[in-house]
């Protein structure tokens, strides 16, 4: 009976040691995950900064394109009115 108890005690000690090694490994893995998570957060912040700059640039380009579009249409309308006035004068309409 004593031999059986000794074997069970040895199994319990080896199980406890194995569980401690597993816990130590999981702690090391958790530390690695924490480091990776911190790096990902810094990368996210950098991407957010890039997104903001790109949005500002796109907004500025949009304003420039809107202005150019309006100037182009104003030029087309002015040209059409000038041509109509020239034609009216050529046909002696006024």
Tokens, residue 34 = 């924490």
- Radius of gyration for the chain, computed over Cα atoms and rounded to the nearest angstrom: 40
Q: What is the mean pLDDT of the chain?
A: 91
Dist CA 25 CA 33 (whole Å): 12
Model confidence pLDDT, tens digit, residues 4-34: 888 888 988 899 999 999 988 888 888 888 8
Is the distance from CB of 88 to CB of 94 less than 8 angstroms?
yes
Specify the pLDDT at position 30: 81
Residue 89: give the domain boundaries.
1-94
Please tell me the predicted confidence (pLDDT) of residue 3: 84
CB proximity list for 88: less than 8 A, separation 6 or greater = 94
If we measure between CA atoms, which residue out of 25, 54, 48 comes closest to residue 40? 48
pTM of the predicted structure, to 2 decimals: 0.46
pLDDT band of 51, cuts 50, 70, 90:
very high
Q: Indicate the number of domains in the chain.
A: 1
């Amino acid at each position: 009976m004593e031999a059986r108890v000794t074997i069970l005690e040895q199994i319990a000690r080896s199980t406890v040691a194995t569980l401690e090694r597993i816990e130590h490994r999981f702690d090391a893995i958790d530390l690695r995950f924490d480091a990776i998570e911190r790096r990902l957060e810094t990368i996210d912040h950098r991407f957010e900064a890039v997104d903001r700059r790109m949005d500002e640039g796109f907004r500025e380009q949009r304003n420039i394109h809107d202005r150019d579009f309006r100037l182009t249409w104003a030029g087309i309308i002015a040209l059409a009115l000038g041509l109509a006035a020239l034609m009216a004068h050529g046909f002696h309409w006024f």
